[in-house]
Amino acid sequence: METAKIIADPEFRIGEVDPRLYGSFIEHLGRAVYNGIYEPGHPTADDMGFRRDVMDIVREVGVPIVRYPGGNFVSGYNWRDGVGPKEKRPRRLDLAWRSLETNEVGTDEFCEWARRVGTEVNMAVNLGTAGIDEARSLVEYCNHPGGSLYSDMRIANGYREPHKIKTWCLGNEMDGPWQMGHKTADEYGRLATETAVAMKWVDPTIELVACGSSHRKMPTFGQWEATVLDHVYQYVDYISLHQYYHKTDNDLGTFLAQTVQMDDFIRSVVSTADYVRAKKGHTKRLYLSFDEWNVWYQNPVDKEIMQKTPWQVAPPLYEAPYTHEDALVVGMMLITLLRNADRVKIACLAQLINTIAPISTVTGGPAWRQATYYPYMHASCYGRGTVLNLQVRTPSYSNKTFDAVPLLDAVAVLDEEHEQMTVFAVNRGQDGALPLEGDLRGIGGYQVLEHITLEHSDPLARNTAEQPNEVVPHTRGDAQLSDGRLTATLPKLSWNVIRLGKNRG
């Protein structure tokens, strides 16, 4: 097998990693909230009904920010339903997921959960069935210290201190015909602009995300971003991207190659934002919020639940367990986000618990980690600092869909504060191990701390409640660093985390 080569030098950088790049997402969908984070009868439930076992796993990842409450759900949500005395909260039909929403968990409870796990909230407002008034009132409820209708309502509800939410999404996937209150780009651009202005009048310190396209293959992609930004550019800070991948036709080579398209997607949105900037003469640069990304299989069973037995509270939707090969794609999506860290400042793995999630629970039973949990946790724990402009030369493969797909997908992150550097690397190869050589002479005096590897003889292996440790990483990787020369073997179909640190000896 031909060797893959990398060169990493601290003099050549892409950009700083915003910690929010490792964000996630919890929607009122399936068992994400009810019987996910919140299960009052569970043996580990705390005084508010939050599962402590779930909170412990979320803390292990160090999730910096969580988008809430949707998703498609938010486009029909009235936040007032979810505050105040629980016994007075209405039960509502959630039309997005054909479920029954009890409103037992709302804004205050979620903000309190976030505080308890040590994460921030990224709050989405309803721009589907609601608009400016609901949005500015929610900012007042969450962020205003007191002395006004909504801030005093929050205080009366037991939360004297404001929730201090910094990051806000102006609706969700408003380009999608499936969205309640779906809009044309001009309609959304106008509404987003007026809503942004009112929200920032309430709290000028907040940051706003405008909706980009729901995915790269939307027929309006490109034009949607250009038109929306024509309206809203100067009032927002980020434009969103969403993308889910899945394997089709049992074609693993194509599945693993899709992150090449993700890179192209990001560059296209950057170009569109910069085009509007140039055209309108703005000086401000717009950043990207990739606030929904993951591998997602929509199985017939999920449709059947919504069609044949609708209006259940917390039905088990989108809970298919993830495979080892799904974990590799999640790893490469993380590598892609990191490679674009100069422009992508926020990203949310969609979602966090049970629904399309790296963490799963049994109602009344244990919580466990899916295969996809591991690359997410590794990136969050070891991928903070500065992304280096890694030079990569790698063998490649081609198939009927893709030409010259690199076998090696890799990125290097330097943490100057702790004098550590991490190389994240995936070997896409299905036939054998990939030898890796690195020129790291630019970072003198480092040694290998550990070489973590996630590999499995069966790419379809998965973790379940009964066998939660089928796909787990080991630290038997063979990476070595001597005189600035790195060598390592990347097993076939593997995710690797090569951790280097200053030699203190």
Residue placing its CB nearer to ligand AHR in the complex, 173 or 319 = 173
* Closest CB to ligand AHR among residues 242, 339: 242
Tokens for 66?
């969580």
Piece of the chain touching ligand AHR by CB under 6 A; list 122-130, 197-205, 349-357, 370-378? 349-357
Determine the interface stretch with ligand AHR among 64-72, 269-277, 334-342, 472-480 (rule: CB under 6 A).
Answer: 64-72
- Asked if 273 and 210 touch (Cβ cutoff 8 Å), the reply is no
With CA atoms as reference, report the closest residue to 46 among 36, 38, 57: 38
Q: Is 350 one of the binding residues for ligand AHR (CB under 6 A)?
A: yes
Residues 6+ apart with CB under 8 A from 109: 38, 48, 82
Per-residue contact string for residues 247-286; x = within reach of ligand AHR by CB under 6 A: ----------------------------------------
* Residue 72 or 126 having the CB closest to ligand AHR: 72
Could you tell me the smallest distance in angstroms from the CB atom of residue 189 to ligand AHR?
19
Binding to ligand AHR in span 161-190, by CB under 6 A: 172-173
Single out the segment in contact with ligand AHR by CB under 6 A; choices: 15-23, 98-106, 189-197, 350-358: 350-358
304 labelled catalytic: no
For residues 448 and 493, the answer to whether their CB atoms sit within 8 Å is no
Site for ligand AHR contains 101 (CB under 6 A): no
Q: Is 173 a catalytic residue?
A: yes
Choice between 350 and 412, CB closer to ligand AHR: 350
- Residue 122's nearest CA partner among 7, 238, 253 is 238
Query: Among residues 463, 451, 465, which one has the least CA distance to residue 494?
Result: 451
Burial class of residue 390 in the structure, from the number of CB atoms within 10 Å of its CB (0-12 exposed, 13-18 middle, 19+ buried) = buried
Angle between helices 373-382 and 52-61 (to 10 degrees): 50
By CB under 6 A, residue 356 contacts ligand AHR = yes
Q: Does 319 bind ligand AHR (CB under 6 A)?
A: no
Nearer to ligand AHR, 8 or 349 (CB): 349
The H-or-E segment that residue 374 falls in is: helix 373-382
Neighbours of 492 (CB within 10 A): 17
| Measured distance CA(110)–CA(362) in Å, rounded | 21
Nearest to residue 288, comparing CAs of 227, 213, 202? 213
Size of the site for ligand AHR (CB under 6 A): 11
Q: Which is nearer to ligand AHR, 119 or 453 (CB)?
A: 119
Q: Which two tokens stand for residue 280?
A: 């309108």
Taking a C-beta distance cutoff of 8 angstroms, is the pair 477, 496 a contact?
yes
For residue 72, state whether it binds ligand AHR (rule: CB under 6 A). Answer: yes
By the 10 Å C-beta count (0-12 exposed, 13-18 middle, 19+ buried), 403 is classed as exposed
Residue 351 in contact with ligand AHR, rule: CB under 6 A? yes
Which segment (49-57, 66-74, 109-117, 188-196) binds ligand AHR by CB under 6 A?
66-74
Binding site residues, ligand AHR, CB under 6 A: 27, 70-72, 172-173, 214, 292, 350-351, 356
**Residues tagged active-site:** 173, 292
